[in-house]
Amino acid sequence: MTKKSSLFIQLAIKKGVLKFGQFKTKAGRISPYFFNLGNFNDGESLDQLGEFYAAKIKESKLEFDMLYGPAYKGIPLVAAIAISLSDETNPAPYSFNRKEEKDHGEGGQIIGCPIHGKVLIVDDVISAGTSIKESIDIIKKHGGVPSGIVVAIDRQEKGDHEKSALQEIQEKYKIPVISIISLNEVIDYVKDDQDFKAILDDLKSYQNQYGAS
């Protein structure tokens, strides 16, 4: 686990983004943790979140011409990341979608920079991959080329098969998918923090049962 990963987990716990307990997932599983990026809900933490994403993007050396964030959580997220990435040589253009196309005013589905070139998708987490599929379809429809995906956490959890949703997306669309942290790093963090050692066995048990191959 890197220092940046540890700092991100620390911030996520502080803001109630990462919680431990018993939570029912969409798949009906009882998870010992829950991750809700929506709890980065003030200017200070959103600024920090943008910096964490920006650092990961720079570290990955992914090539892109613009950023795209799917509605709704992706909207403040993509804006914060664009601000963190922008400098004199890179204005970091970005856009996001409406859930429903507007048929008056400026109309259309896309708000922000017109989609063009290589498009880097930013989102919170990949679960079933539905949001990512919709994003890829929208980008292609508007003439862009999806070049990669960046998410906050890789749950490393198998879906209907033995591979995780993240792995399936990578294989299906042939684009890289990176994350700021993974479940493995959450487990490593818990190991080293006396306040959370009680949850360690539950996390390991959940990973043993549902972890992707």
If one counts every other C-beta atom within 10 angstroms of the C-beta of residue 134, the result is 14
Cis peptide preceding 72, ω within 30 of 0: yes
Show the 3-state SS of the chain: CCHHHHHHHHHHHHCCCEEEEEEECCCCCEEEEEECHHHCCCHHHHHHHHHHHHHHHHHHCCCCCEEEECCCCHHHHHHHHHHHHCCCCCCCCEEEEEEEEECCCCCEEEEECCCCCEEEEECCECCCCHHHHHHHHHHHHCCCEEEEEEEEEECCEECCCCCEHHHHHHHHHCCCEEEEEEHHHHHHHHHCCHHHHHHHHHHHHHHHHHECC
How far is the C-alpha of 2 from the C-alpha of 133, rounded, in Å? 30
Q: Which of 14, 24, 58, 102 is catalytic?
A: 102
Active site residue 161: no
* Cα distance between the two ends of the chain: 20
Active site residue 116: no
Which residues are catalytically annotated? Answer: 102, 104
